[in-house]
Amino acid sequence: MKKADSHAKKTETGPVAPGTMGATAATVTAPAISNATAATAPAVEVTPEQLADLKARAAKADEHWDRLLRTAADFENFKKRAARERHEAAQSAAAALVHKLLPVLDHLEMAQAAAQNTPGDKLAALQDGIAMIQQQLKSILAETGLEDVDASGQAFDPMLHEAVSQLETTDTPEGHVVQQIRKGYKMRDRLLRPATVVVAKKPAAPPATPPAA
């Protein structure tokens, strides 16, 4: 009985059969390979605090990007607004200059009118000279965009005309300009000075004559 037990133990611990040799070797070496891989490439663990910090950084990056886009848009609007303001300032400066020259133009027109009513060869030459100056000045002002506001015979327009009085007449329709005292001027679409005018008014009806007694 003891011999049988001894023989069984020898069989269990004896040489391994060739067919089972590979399986045993594979079983032995597989854990060794896995351990070597784990040793060369350790897994990176992210703590909740680190994850929260990464999310906060990403949110800040998005916020900074949005701020950059808004700043770029604001700068583009600023450039357009600055260009528009420069253009308007240039127009205002030109309009102010032209407004100062308007009295000179008025004086030339009055001098020309006075010269027309005075006979004489010398006055005729003076008239021609004044007319040339007036035309030269008008040409210069026209280059800047100055235009006359001629109200003669036109319907009264409070946007372009300034009425100083009314005149009862039947020759001109009521509400129309019967006399232009002073020309108006505008520079492109901007009114520099309204035309000073007298507006026609329908004559009042004569009082009714009482019937004879």
Q: Which of 94, 97, 101 is nearest to 136 (CA)?
A: 101
Domain assignment present for 160: yes
User: How many residues belong to the chain?
Assistant: 213
Domain assignment present for 186: yes
Measured CA to CA, the distance from residue 16 to residue 27 in angstroms comes to: 14
| Residue keyed to tokens 């007319």 | 131
Measured CA to CA, the distance from residue 198 to residue 195 in angstroms comes to: 10
Model-wide pTM > 0.75? no
Domain assignment present for 184: yes
Domain assignment present for 37: no
Angle at 52 between CA 47 and CA 57, to 5 degrees: 125
Q: How many CA atoms lie within 13 A of 157 on its CB side?
A: 13
With bands split at pLDDT 50, 70 and 90, how would you rate the model's confidence at 31?
very low
Cβ-based burial of 161 (10 A; exposed 0-12, middle 13-18, buried ≥19): buried
Residues 121-167 pLDDT 10s: 667 777 788 888 888 888 888 888 889 998 988 999 999 999 999 99
pLDDT at 163: 94
Domain assignment present for 192: yes
Domain assignment present for 170: yes
Query: Domain with 196 in it: what CATH number?
Result: 2.30.22.10
pLDDT at 16: 45
Domain assignment present for 176: yes
Domain assignment present for 163: yes
Measured CA to CA, the distance from residue 50 to residue 48 in angstroms comes to: 5
Which residue range forms the structural domain that includes residue 180?
A: 147-203
CB 200 within 8 A of CB 174: yes
With bands split at pLDDT 50, 70 and 90, how would you rate the model's confidence at 98?
confident
When divided into structural domains, the chain yields a total of 1
Residues 107-127 pLDDT 10s: 888 887 777 776 666 677 777
pLDDT at 27: 43
